[in-house]
Amino acid sequence: MEDVKIENNYYLGKLAENGNSQKVLIGEVIDWMIIEDGRLIGGYTIRHYRDTLDEEAKTNFDIDFGVKIDNGNDFFEPNLSTPEGAIIKIENFYSDENLEGVLSCKNFLKETGNLLEERELSVTEELKAELAEVLKLTLIEGLKSNGFPYFNNIERSFTLLDEKLENRQKLIFEKLIFDNGDTKFIKFWVGQEKNGDWKVLNLVD
């Protein structure tokens, strides 16, 4: 869609191929993209497909697509309204060495649930709560002992890898591009709270 506007819980716009008006529920949107000065911003499914191609096919794809597809630098407000925004928000708190801010972006109970599920373990809710507290204390002690990571002066691109619809969780792949050209790759589960906020959960190897 083009000329997109938000009205209540819907995106309103016109279909690029025929100009017809279209209304889509915000919660049903699975991808978006913006073309800015000939550069692709967003477009996760396009990027994912392009990454499966060999170099010659990538070159032909870029020529046909007619848009610059580079490492990307996605722009999200650093807040909890989107999974990507929650990741940027917690990274900003890390850079500011703001422990309370970091903790405000986490949900250790959901993170514990994910880790138990990965290991196919079933425990009581009481033990689950105790394990969540251990995760929290481990993070705090790790930051105090090893220092806070630093995320300033970087570009980011995000890719949606997977979803757990029943748990309202998304697996987000983040590519960090540092000003010296170095790159780093991180995968997070990010979970949505009942109030709509997104919280950063466990890293995935």
In the chain, count H helices and then E strands. Answer: 6, 9
Residues 188 and 105 in one domain: yes
> Is 56 within the bounds of a domain?
yes
Q: What is the pLDDT of residue 168?
A: 93
Residues 45 and 103 in one domain: no
Higher pLDDT, 165 or 42: 165
CA 173 to CA 20: how far, in whole Å? 34
Residue 30 token pair: 């699975």
> Is 41 within the bounds of a domain?
yes
Residues 26 and 117 in one domain: no
pLDDT mean over 170-198: 92
23 burial (CB, 10 Å; 0-12 / 13-18 / 19+) is: exposed
Residues 54 and 100 in one domain: no
Residues 122 and 190 in one domain: yes
Residues 121 and 197 in one domain: yes
CB atoms within 10 A of CB 158: 21
Residues 62 and 109 in one domain: no
Q: Above 80 in pLDDT, residue 31?
A: no
- Confidence at 30, pLDDT banded by 50, 70, 90: confident
pTM of the model: 0.71
Q: What is the pLDDT of residue 110?
A: 96
- Confidence at 73, pLDDT banded by 50, 70, 90: low
Residues 104 and 15 in one domain: no
Q: What is the residue type of 53?
A: L
Least confident among 6-20, 38-52, 139-153, 176-190: 38-52
pLDDT mean over 94-106: 98
pLDDT mean over 6-31: 86
Q: What is the pLDDT of residue 94?
A: 97
Q: What is the pLDDT of residue 72?
A: 64
Q: For residue 64, give its domain range.
A: 2-73
Q: Above 90 in pLDDT, residue 41?
A: no
Total number of domains constituting the chain: 2
Q: What is the pLDDT of residue 71?
A: 64
> Is 78 within the bounds of a domain?
no
> Is 128 within the bounds of a domain?
yes
Q: What is the pLDDT of residue 29?
A: 78
> Is 31 within the bounds of a domain?
yes
Which of 205, 203, 198 is closest to 89 using CA atoms?
A: 198
Residues 112 and 146 in one domain: yes
Question: Domain of 104: which CATH number?
Answer: 3.10.450
